[in-house]
Amino acid sequence: MKLRPTLISCAVAMRLYSFTYAVNAVFIWVAITVRLTMTRLMSAMNKLKLLDLFCGAGGASMGYSMAGFDVTGIDVKHGKRYPFTYIRGDVRDYLNTDYLSQFDVIHASPPCQTHSITKHLRNAQGKSTSKIDMIPEVREALIASGKPYIIENVPQSPLINPIQLCGSSFGLKVRRHRLFESNMSLVGSTCNHTTRPVGVYGSLNDEIPRGGKTAETIDQACEAMGIDWAIWTELVEAIPPAYTHYLGEQIAACLNA
């Protein structure tokens, strides 16, 4: 039985239509993919670059990333759990203007053990530290770089005109008072000590003299800090991301003004 010419023409037309539709769909998909890729690339290129010195497990880095910064961290530790671009090395090898000039903002958290109030607890537990005070050396290098900078450390550390942040201000279960020195105008936070905090220092599940107590489990410690990727030894030295998210938004507004 022979098909009529009109039926053959309709069948050919339908096939051509289907082919044309498929080709157009492919072109549209390619165009969307290219556009999204270019948008992501442009977004990455437009991000302010922030260097996090003594970055540890990346608590501070995470907060700055949440605020929109492209973050690179440097520390002497292995950095297995650090979530961003990581350089393993001695920070002092990078405290030169040539290297620091690559970044828009520099954050530094020099070792705080020599100033921390928990040093007495560590000493009692036989965990004394041999770390030296690197704040003056770091400050000198950051000032020489001419870049906006932040130096973070514990209360009683020799920072210049610092602001203070407290975990209770951000709804966290830790207080973890920290000072921040900067050559930018930043605003601190007001404490809201209404509940008993979770201790993230010393040893896990430890009874502290005068009524204190550290977190019972690593999950409890992670929740209290707002960090879900670090282990205990990293958490005790970390900065809650909420702190640097808060500061990062202020810094970005200042630099983009």
Per-residue model confidence (pLDDT) at position 42? 40
The CA distance from 224 to 174, in Å, is 6
Residue 49, amino acid: K
Q: What angle do CA 59, 139, 75 make, to 5 degrees?
A: 40
Q: Is the pLDDT of residue 165 over 50?
A: yes
Q: Residue 212's pLDDT is what?
A: 72
CB neighbours of residue 70 within 10 Å? 18
User: Is pLDDT at 122 greater than 70 in this prediction?
Assistant: no
Per-residue model confidence (pLDDT) at position 4: 60
Average pLDDT over residues 87-95: 98
Q: What is the pLDDT averaged over residues 77-90?
A: 97
Q: Give the per-residue pLDDT at 25.
A: 62
Q: What is the pLDDT of residues 9-46, one digit of tens each?
A: 666 666 766 666 666 666 665 555 545 444 343 444 58
170: left (phi over 0), alpha (psi -120 to 50) or beta: alpha
What is the band of 255 on the pLDDT scale with cuts at 50, 70, 90? Answer: very high
Residue 245: its pLDDT value, please? 98
The β-bridge partners of 219 are none
What is the pLDDT, as a whole number, of residue 89? Answer: 98
Distance CA 189, CA 176 (A): 12
158 band by pLDDT with thresholds 50, 70 and 90: very high
Q: pLDDT at position 46, please?
A: 83
Q: Does 88 have pLDDT greater than 90? A: yes
Residue pLDDT, tens place only, 130-155: 578 999 999 999 999 999 999 999 99
- Residue ranges per domain, the chain? 7-46, 108-255
Measured in whole angstroms, how far is the alpha carbon of residue 81 from the centre of its chain? Answer: 12
